[in-house]
């Protein structure tokens, strides 16, 4: 049987298979029919109405493309802009890539399983598009590549598949955002991402989500990092969403490979977030770190983390801190799994409210109680992320600054 047919067969068998964790989404309630949108040139991008531009900027997409090394922009089911001016960096819509570049087949559904659940199955059977971003061997992305998956049509189901490849000795920085138009209330986003970090390559992937209140979101991501490679994965979500569930997995498959996950979540009332990170340390010298900061304003947040040490001489740390500001739930589930002697694995988790002592201390310096609280919250969300380029740091700071208004 042809490889495509095999994938489709497997997907068909999984089309009603519920996800391993998280509330089930009835995909039949959403519309995955193609929504035509015309391609936008640079000047069209800049002509996007201010309100929408603001939504895009919050998801990291700068329509002026200043200080961006490439752009992928998908609206609903259509790619409306795709451009990669930087030498050594390729940005290609995945349908086009599958059609024209055989090498993409070596990566497509090679890490993620097409029959993992109904969401992976939907992404295969009803693929709309997605991006392939690749840095060629030895190349360095000066500016980050921006990718935006935008939802405009109410009630839509968007199925996306992304492949990110950092070839040997290359350096690739990506900022990717998901956002919804101001009038969209309800929809579902299914996003498959497969990451390949090759020998001595460095990939930073910063994802900013700005959903609408009734959005269901089911990303499915798997990464592998070869010898000496570094995968830095940042995730920021400060806006309401009905239900978001993801549990990205990374395999460190060469010695001295490193993976670091940093997540910053602010949970609003009526929202449910079930997030995690799982990293397999399979070779000596592997390092892994999962750091999560969560704030609940009344939303439910489950913060999972799972580190698996399979060989000696690995080091892994899991850190989860949560603040309950206004009711809601924070459930930290840290898991450490050591299979041999000689692993160094640790975790720390702390969930609570803001220490009164800290508020009083800042008040003694003349800050009002509200100023003190907001200063502490901003500090809490201000995670030092080693190796993050300044532009991306600025994007994260901006998201935090913006959310501050909502949090308070």
Partner 1 sequence: MLQIEDLQVKLGDKEILKHIDLEIHPGETHILFGPNGSGKTSLLMTIMGYPQYKITAGKIIFKGEDITDLPIDERAQLGIGMSFQRPPTINGLKTRQMVQLCARDAVDEETLAKKVNFEGFLDRDVNAGFSGGEIKRSELLQLLAQDPDLMLFDEPESGVDMENISLVGKTIASLLQKGFLDAETKPKMQAKRDRTKMGLIITHTGFILDYVAADKGQVLYDGMLSCVSNPHEILNCVGESGYEECVRCISTIN
CA pseudo-torsion sign 372, 375, 377, 379: negative
The residues, any chain, with a CB within 8 Å of residue 94's CB and separated by 6 or more, are: 104, 108, 127, 129, 130, 131, 132, 161, 162, 163
Beta strand 89-93 pairing with 131-135 = antiparallel
Contact 403, 238 (CB under 8 A): yes
53 binds partner 1 (CB under 8 A): no
For partner 1, how many residues bind (rule: CB under 8 A)?
22
Residue ranges in 85-180 assigned as alpha helix (H): 94-100, 118-125
Least distance in angstroms from the C-beta of 373 to partner 1:
12
Rule CB under 8 A: choose which of 358, 374, 393, 402 binds partner 1.
Answer: 358
Q: Applying CB under 8 A, does 368 fall inside the site for partner 1?
A: yes
d(CA 293, CA 289): 13
Q: Are 295 and 325 in contact (CB under 8 A)?
A: yes
Site string (336-355) toward partner 1, x via CB under 8 A: -------------------x
Give the position of tokens 């509330």: 23
Between residues 6 and 346, which has the closer beta carbon with respect to partner 1? 346
Question: Distance from CA of residue 81 to its chain's centroid?
Answer: 21
Nearest to 218 by CA among 22, 2, 1: 22
Q: Applying CB under 8 A, which part among 204-212, 223-231, 327-335, 359-367 lies near partner 1?
A: 359-367
**Placement of tokens 């049987």 in the chain:** 1
Q: Nearest approach, Cβ of 274 to partner 1 (angstroms)?
A: 25
**Single residue of 227, 367, 374, 393 touching partner 1 by CB under 8 A:** 367
| x/- map, 81-120, partner 1, by CB under 8 A | ----------------------------------------
- Which residue among 325, 329, 363, 385 contacts partner 1 (CB under 8 A)? 363
Which residues in 124-183 contact partner 1 (CB under 8 A)? none
Q: At its nearest, how many Å lie between partner 1 and the CB of residue 357?
A: 5
Residues forming the site for partner 1 (CB under 8 A):
355, 357-358, 360-369, 372, 375-376, 378-383
């Amino acid at each position: 049987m042809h490889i495509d047919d095999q994938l489709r067969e497997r997907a068909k068998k999984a089309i009603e298979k519920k996800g391993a964790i998280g509330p089930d989404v009835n995909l039949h309630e959403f519309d995955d029919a193609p929504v035509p949108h015309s391609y936008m040139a640079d000047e069209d991008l800049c002509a996007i109405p201010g309100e929408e531009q603001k939504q895009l900027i919050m998801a990291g997409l700068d329509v002026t493309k200043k200080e961006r090394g490439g752009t992928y922009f998908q609206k609903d089911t259509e790619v409306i802009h795709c451009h990669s001016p930087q030498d050594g960096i390729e940005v290609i819509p995945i349908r086009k890539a599958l059609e024209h570049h055989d090498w993409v087949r070596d990566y497509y559904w090679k890490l993620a399983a097409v029959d993992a659940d109904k969401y992976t199955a939907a992404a295969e059977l009803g693929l709309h598009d997605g991006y392939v971003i690749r840095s060629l061997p030895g190349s360095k992305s000066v500016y980050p590549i921006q990718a935006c998956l935008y939802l405009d049509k109410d009630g839509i189901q968007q199925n996306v598949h992304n492949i990110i490849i950092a070839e040997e000795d290359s350096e690739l920085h990506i900022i990717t955002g998901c956002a919804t138009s101001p009038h969209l209330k309800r929809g579902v986003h299914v996003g498959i991402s497969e990451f390949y970090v090759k020998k001595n390559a460095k990939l930073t992937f910063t994802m900013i989500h700005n959903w609408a209140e009734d959005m269901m979101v089911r990303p499915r991501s798997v990464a592998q990092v070869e010898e000496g490679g570094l995968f830095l994965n940042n995730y920021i979500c400060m806006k309401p969403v009905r239900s978001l569930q993801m549990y990205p997995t990374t395999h460190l498959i060469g010695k001295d490979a490193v993976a670091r996950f940093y997540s910053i979540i602010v949970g609003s009332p009526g929202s449910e977030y079930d997030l995690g990170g799982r990293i397999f340390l399979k070779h000596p010298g592997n390092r892994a770190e999962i750091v999560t900061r969560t704030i609940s304003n009344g939303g439910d947040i489950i913060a999972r983390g799972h580190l698996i040490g399979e060989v000696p001489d690995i080091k892994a740390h899991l850190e989860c801190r949560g603040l309950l500001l206004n009711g809601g739930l924070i459930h930290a589930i840290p898991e450490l799994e050591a299979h041999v002697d000689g692993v160094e694995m640790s975790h720390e988790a702390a969930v609570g409210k803001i220490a009164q002592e800290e508020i009083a201390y800042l008040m003694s310096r003349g800050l009002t109680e509200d100023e003190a609280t907001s200063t502490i919250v901003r500090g809490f969300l201000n995670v030092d992320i080693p190796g993050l380029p300044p532009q991306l740091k600025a994007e994260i700071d901006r998201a935090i600054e913006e959310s501050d208004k909502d949090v308070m």
